[in-house]
């Protein structure tokens, strides 16, 4: 406990729920309730009050860093007489499976879009850079999906380096959670966004975590302007994963095209046992070995408690 307290006290400023809420009393909230509800995933138990009290202040805090970056780019553009000096501000959102990082990323995209009406705010996930199931099966690592070795990191790093270099009309693969695989011949177009949110398990990992691909000895984390780690106690994450599994069993798994369709036919008790096993042998292990060690690299740590409620936020002092 002392080491943990020293880590936060020495490296991070802490914002509790009360301080977060007080930051945004004067902000004009520009999104409708309907728009916000569309951004909340089925695995989250978020209320509008939670969004306004916690995620709106977070977006407002990010606003300071983004504006500072935009201003610096304007100065550089004038100093070097460069036209169209457009490099996206890259926000990385990392964290465990089931922690709610996808919902966090979607909410930030909506809130930042409301702050920057005339700028393009886009969101992509690293899921599109997973190797196909065919490749994973051939390499006998299907049970390691989400682990470092399951990603085509050279392709991901190349994409990030291109987009930070201002390359236009880039395309990336699309991953289907229903099919549990890359969708063949279907791509997402990314064309010079002003702000790009990159969400995934691995966005804070670096070349130490990926020895097989040293693309000019750089990694995704080298290109990120601001990084966020969404955190929760492992036991809570396990409970949330099982809860999400049970919800999907009554919804997405019912689709005959779902990779997990057979799980819709088993009992709830069996579902809980299987979900617990998957967590313990795959997702929990990946968290311990590959994801949690990257937390200290984040500029900002969101700590969640029961019901996915944000308890506090730690902001790194030296940014």
In the structure, what pLDDT confidence band is assigned to residue 83 with cuts at 50, 70 and 90?
Answer: low
Is 100 annotated to bind ligand? Answer: yes
How many angstroms from the chain centroid is the CA of residue 165? 22
User: Residue 129 carries which DSSP code?
Assistant: G
CB 171 within 8 A of CB 124: no
- Count each helix (H run) and each strand (E run) in the chain, helices first: 11, 9
pTM (2 decimals)? 0.90
- Return the structure tokens found at 5: 């307290």
Is 101 annotated to bind ligand? Answer: yes
CB 93 within 8 A of CB 105: yes
Where do the H-state alpha helices sit in the chain?
Answer: 2-11, 17-22, 33-38, 48-50, 56-79, 101-115, 133-138, 153-164, 234-249, 268-278, 284-286
The 3-state DSSP class for residue 199 equals strand
- Return the structure tokens found at 164: 């930070």
Residues with Cβ within 8 Å of 114's Cβ and at least 6 positions away in sequence, in order, are 30, 31
In the structure, what pLDDT confidence band is assigned to residue 250 with cuts at 50, 70 and 90?
Answer: very high
User: Helix, strand, coil shares of the chain as percentages rounded to 5?
Assistant: 50, 20, 30
CATH number at residue 164: 3.40.50.300
The pLDDT of residue 240 is: 96
Where is average pLDDT lowest: 20-24, 109-113, 133-137, 143-147?
Answer: 20-24
Cα separation, 317 vs 228, whole angstroms:
14
Is 95 annotated to bind ligand? Answer: yes
pLDDT more than 70, % of the chain: 83
Mean pLDDT score, 42-58: 75
Is 98 annotated to bind ligand? Answer: yes
Which residue range(s) make up the domain with 310? 2-316
- Position 318 pLDDT exceeds 90: no
CB 300 within 8 A of CB 229: yes
Number of other residues whose CB lies within 10 A of the CB of residue 75: 9
Is 22 annotated to bind ligand? Answer: no
Go through the chain and tell me how many residues it has.
Answer: 319
The pLDDT of residue 160 is: 95
Q: How many domains does the chain have?
A: 1
The pLDDT of residue 53 is: 80
Is 59 annotated to bind ligand? Answer: no
The 3-state DSSP class for residue 52 equals helix
In the structure, what pLDDT confidence band is assigned to residue 117 with cuts at 50, 70 and 90?
Answer: confident
Radius of gyration of the chain (CA): 20
């Amino acid at each position: 406990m002392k080491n943990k307290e020293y880590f936060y006290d020495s490296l991070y400023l802490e914002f509790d729920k009360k301080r977060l809420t007080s930051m945004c009393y004067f902000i004009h909230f520009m999104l409708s309730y309907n728009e916000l509800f569309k951004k909340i995933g089925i695995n989250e138990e978020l209320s509008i009050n939670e969004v306004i009290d916690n995620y709106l202040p977070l977006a407002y805090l990010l606003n300071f860093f983004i504006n500072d970056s935009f201003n610096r780019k304007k100065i550089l553009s004038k100093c070097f007489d460069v036209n169209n000096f457009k490099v996206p501000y890259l926000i990385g959102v990392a964290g465990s499976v089931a922690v709610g990082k996808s919902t966090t990323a979607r909410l930030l995209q909506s809130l930042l879009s409301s702050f920057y009406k005339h700028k393009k705010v886009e969101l992509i996930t690293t899921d599109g850079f997973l190797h196909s199931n065919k490749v994973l099966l051939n390499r006998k690592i299907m049970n390691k999906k989400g682990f470092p070795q399951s990603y085509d990191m050279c392709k991901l790093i190349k994409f990030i380096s291109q987009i930070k270099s201002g390359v236009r009309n880039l395309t990336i693969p699309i991953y289907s959670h229903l099919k549990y695989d890359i969708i063949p011949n279907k791509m997402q177009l990314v064309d010079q966004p002003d702000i790009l949110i990159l969400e995934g398990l691995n966005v804070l990992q670096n070349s130490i975590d990926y020895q097989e691909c040293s693309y000019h000895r750089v990694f995704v984390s080298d290109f990120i302007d601001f990084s966020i780690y969404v955190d929760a106690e492992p036991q809570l994450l396990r409970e949330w994963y099982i809860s999400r599994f049970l919800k999907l069993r009554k919804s997405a798994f019912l689709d005959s095209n779902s990779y997990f369709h057979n799980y819709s036919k088993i009992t709830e008790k069996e579902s809980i046992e299987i979900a617990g096993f998957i967590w313990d042998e795959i997702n929990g292990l990946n968290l311990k070995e590959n994801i949690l060690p990257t937390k200290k690299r984040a500029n900002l740590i969101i700590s969640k408690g029961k019901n996915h409620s944000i308890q506090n936020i730690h902001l790194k002092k030296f940014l």
